Amino acid sequence: MRTAAPRPLLALTAILLLSLAPGCGGPFLLIPGGALSGEVVTEPVTDWSFVDDAFVDLEVRPEQPYSVELNYIVRDGHLYIDPAEDRRWLTYIREDPRVRARFSGRVYPLTAVLVGRPGELDGFDADRFIYRLDPRKP
């Protein structure tokens, strides 16, 4: 007969994992994190066609870093994100467009530039804001 793990043990394990996530140098699955860790790239990237990660880790709010894992789009060598209106990190981008993105352990200092409002750009979700991530000095 197989017995299930005691509920208190499962709850303790979940709490432990959730409490460790913010200290992992970025987001953990669907849980936001803090400052991104990794090698900071100082040379500006002008063509993002080389990235092939499934997701990008994005850090916003430089004074009190908040990071999330999200989808991205590369089009004509430019890097784009398309946050939904209800995302906390969109509020932070609107307050301060300085962001950092991490691909394959490398962190890139960028500026989020609004290039399209919902429904303005073909090929993007019609209900999303579109930001291009442009290079900036660290």
H/E/C letters for each residue in the chain? CCCCCCHHHHHHHHHHHHHHHHHCCCCECCECECCCCCEECCCCCCCCCCCCCCCEEEEECCCCCEEEEECCEEECCEEEECCCCCCHHHHHHHHCCEEEEEECCEEEEEEEEEEECCCCCCCCCCCCCEEEEEECCC
CATH topology classification for 7-135 = Pnp Oxidase; Chain A (2.30.110)
- The tens digit of pLDDT for each residue in 65-96 reads 999 999 999 999 999 999 988 899 999 999 99
Is this model's pTM higher than 0.85 or not?
no
Are 39 and 92 contacting, i.e. CB atoms less than 8 angstroms apart? no
Ordered by start, the domain boundaries in the chain are 7-135
- The tens digit of pLDDT for each residue in 44-71 reads 999 999 999 999 999 999 999 999 999 9
